[in-house]
Copies of this chain bind each other. A is one copy, B any other.
Amino acid sequence: MWASELIRRKRDGAGLCPEEIEHLIRGYVEGDVGDEQMAAFCMAVFFQGMSDEETSSLVKAMLSSGDTVDLCGIEGVKVDKHSTGGVGDKISICLAPLVAACGVPVPMMSGRALGHTGGTLDKLSAIPGFRTEQDITTYQRLVETHGLALIGQTPELAPADRRLYALRDVTATVESVPLIAASIMSKKLAEGIDALVLDVKVGSGAFMKTLSEAQALAEVLSAIGWGANKPTRVILTDMDRVLGRMVGNANETWEAIEVLQGGGPDDVRELTLILGAEMLILGQRVGSEAEGRTLLMEAIDSGKGFEKFQEVVAAQGGDPRAVEQRSGLPSAPHQEEIGAEQEGTITAIDAEKVGWAAMRLGAGRGRASDSIDLGVGIEMMVDIGDCVKRGEVVARLSHRDGYGTVEARKLLQQALIITNEGFIAQRPLVLDRIEEGKQ
């Protein structure tokens, strides 16, 4: 079985059998299949797609390229949440402690920022002393002791995905539904979860720009989850906006903490309740969304969610008092205000441009090896539908010595579409759901 022959068959539209996909992935990890061959294969998949069976084989092959964590000995239905990535998406940071505080264990492994989207790991690393790099044993102990772990992916899990992800990034083969789905699901299934909630982002700030693309991805993700006997719910949510007001690292972490403390922006709190209720249902803690929301609100009001967060911050080496006030987290020394270029109504916000603006300030990374500035970021002062006067402050940049402000200002001005229309309704937060797997 030659790799070039398998690439050729995929190129020409043929389906590959499980053994052939396993052969390719194992060969790749073991060095018999080169980066150049895997890159050509990914590009062929971009054009020819993969059947559900092929995608499922790819997940299995990537999963079996490394270890799988066993959390069976830990009581409860372990549920994780994964988001496909957006701008201002800090939901995991408030969601995971709240769900854990409600009694459902959350074994959460997150990723770093790449491109215009942020990463939960970077946001968490804004907490002084907090260590996201933990080994499997510590991860298991965290879930067992605290019902919550907030760590980065360990190198033992799905190593094929790690290499493939880096390869796809430099070869323009990221935007392929089967490849995205296999990447997400191989990592998640290796974590030892019992069930999964997926937040598939749709819109200018997401990888999936249209609802139909997102639905296609959602269907595949759902099928893989259920196929692996892991009840999976997929919520498709709006990313034609910035989620919350804050974009950056420390400022996003703080906005999530505000939700844990009973405050925070409406949309961040609402999405936390929506996703949290799904996790509590899958975790067999509640029977309905309404029941789930009530339980989560109680965890906020009682302070139990925030206590759980502080407990895990301490367990992972962080300073639990540092997360009590904004001043406990890093901030950039300089501020700059952006004024509206004209009078009118904010008709649209190009969230991707806002994400790139934050990246220019140093909040994100263009390449995996770039370092980031945890203190810099953007505060959005307006939302879709707001009326503004010319010169009115629409955003605030937190920057370090002016680094990247010229490009960030330009991108922000481009991102805000101001017209003379009178009333603009924002898209609903939830655009679609897939709750049950195909039988």
Interface, chain A (partner B; CB < 8 A) = 3-5, 7-8, 11, 34-40, 42-44, 46-47, 167, 169-173
Contact = CB atoms under 8 A, between A and B. Distances in A.
A36 B170 contact: yes
A36 B167 contact: yes
Tally of this chain's copies: 2
23 contacts: A3-B170, A4-B169, A4-B170, A4-B171, A4-B172, A5-B172, A7-B171, A8-B172, A11-B46, A11-B172, A34-B35, A34-B36, A36-B39, A36-B171, A37-B39, A37-B171, A39-B43, A39-B171, A40-B40, A40-B42, A40-B171, A40-B172, A43-B44
A11 B170 contact: no
A171 B39 CA distance: 9
A253 to B, nearest CB: 30
A345 to B, nearest CB: 33
A204 B5 CA distance: 19
Contact of A38 (B3, B36, B44, B172): B36
A108 B172 CA distance: 40
| CB-based closest 6 A-B pairs | A40-B171, A43-B43, A8-B172, A36-B39, A7-B172, A35-B36
B34 A170 contact: yes
Output the residue of A3, A34, A43, A47 with the most chain B CB within 10 A.
A43
A38 B11 CA distance: 16
A66 to B, nearest CB: 21
Given A34-B35, A35-B36, A36-B35, A43 B11 contact: yes
Contacts of A4: 169-172
Contact of A36 (B5, B36, B47): B36
Contacts of A171: 4, 7, 36-37, 39-40
Given A35-B35, A44-B172, 20 more contacts: A4-B169, A4-B171, A4-B172, A5-B172, A7-B172, A34-B35, A34-B36, A34-B170, A35-B36, A36-B38, A36-B167, A36-B170, A37-B39, A39-B39, A39-B40, A39-B171, A40-B43, A40-B173, A43-B47, A47-B47
